[in-house]
Amino acid sequence: MPKKYVIEDRVLREASYLIENEATIRATALALNEVSKSTVYKDLAHLLPTISLGLYNQVKTVLEKNKKERAMRGGMATQKKYAKNT
């Protein structure tokens, strides 16, 4: 199978996983255990729109939701960290 198709297949697997699980980039990279989170981001942000625009729009929606929740998750992690130290 040509390298182009291997990469496209990987990008589609990453997108499907992220959408189905509403996962983060980091969680997707860890779950699929194929490439780094930087590569997953590059695949989804730059390659996916050229492969499937519809799938890209779904991924974009999940990523925007994750971004909005990021500050809240970070705050909870900090709160939990300092609760252990007291």
Give the 3-state DSSP-derived string for the chain, with helices as H, strands as E and coil as C: CCHHHHHHHHHHHHHHHHHHHCCCHHHHHHHHCCCCHHHHHHHHHHHHHHHCHHHHHHHHHHHHHHHHHHHHHHHHHHHHHHHHCC
Residues 6+ apart with CB under 8 A from 41: 25
Q: Whole-structure pTM over 0.75, yes or no?
A: yes
pLDDT in tens, 18-75: 999 999 999 999 999 989 999 999 999 999 999 999 999 999 999 999 888 877 777 7
